[in-house]
């Protein structure tokens, strides 16, 4: 089997693995495999192909990491997982009705036809909040963070 074919197969396997896992970094590594395939098509030796693949994979994966990190720092200094992703911004500002609060300060609300766990973004301490209308101000995973309307 030709070296370029092996590189193309590796790139394809990495893309399929990315589709199965959702890890965007695998696409960056697949770009490295594409660089190796192009180096093989150009007739370079195996060592040059490996260096090309490694350099492209490292630059793209590292670039993606640092770009995301810089973007998160611009959005605020909260740790990863406490900020809402841009694709969830449609949920921010929506109003939900809270019928009761549990003793741990959480509640269950119905939103978009499904039950969601929620809590106040700024808990008031030992007293439970009052039932009523609350606005979604952030999301932590699948937990809605609410503020009183």
Helix (H, G, I), strand (E, B) or coil at 134: strand
pLDDT at site 87:
56
pLDDT digits (tens, 9 = 90+) for 102-129: 988 899 999 888 899 999 988 777 778 8
Least Cα distance to 29 among 3, 54, 4, 66 occurs for 54
> Which range, of 11-20, 33-42, 46-55, 119-128, averages the lowest pLDDT?
119-128
pLDDT category, 142, cuts 50, 70, 90?
confident
The domain made up of 86-148 has a fold known as: OB fold (Dihydrolipoamide Acetyltransferase, E2P) (2.40.50)
Provide the pLDDT for residue 78: 47
Residues 11 and 30 sit within 8 Å (Cβ to Cβ)? yes
The rounded distance, in Å, linking the Cα atoms of 40 and 18 is 24
CATH 2.40.50.140 in the chain, residues? Answer: 86-148
Q: What digits encode the pLDDT tens for the residues 47-101?
A: 999 999 999 999 999 998 998 888 877 765 444 454 555 555 677 889 999 999 9
pTM (2 decimals)? Answer: 0.51
pLDDT exceeds 90 at position 26: yes
* Sign of the torsion angle spanned by Cα atoms 37, 39, 42, 46: negative
| pLDDT computed for residue 92 by the predictor | 84
The mean predicted confidence, pLDDT, of the chain is: 87
Q: What are the tokens at 56?
A: 């492209």
> Which spans in the chain are helix H?
3-21, 24-41, 46-75
pLDDT of residue 77: 47
């Amino acid at each position: 089997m030709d070296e370029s074919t092996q590189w193309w197969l590796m790139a394809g396997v990495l893309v399929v693995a990315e589709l199965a896992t959702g890890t965007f970094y695998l696409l960056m590594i697949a770009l490295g495999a594409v660089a190796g395939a192009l180096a093989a098509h150009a007739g370079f030796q195996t060592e040059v192909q490996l260096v090309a693949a490694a350099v492209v994979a490292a630059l793209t994966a590292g670039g993606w990491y640092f770009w995301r990190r810089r973007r998160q720092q611009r959005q605020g200094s909260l740790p990863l997982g406490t900020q809402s992703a841009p694709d969830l911004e449609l949920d921010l500002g929506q109003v939900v009705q809270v019928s009761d609060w549990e003793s741990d300060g959480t509640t269950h609300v119905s939103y978009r036809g499904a039950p969601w766990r929620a809590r106040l973004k700024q808990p008031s301490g030992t007293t439970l909040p009052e039932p009523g209308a609350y606005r979604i101000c952030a999301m932590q995973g699948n937990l809605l963070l609410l503020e009183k309307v």
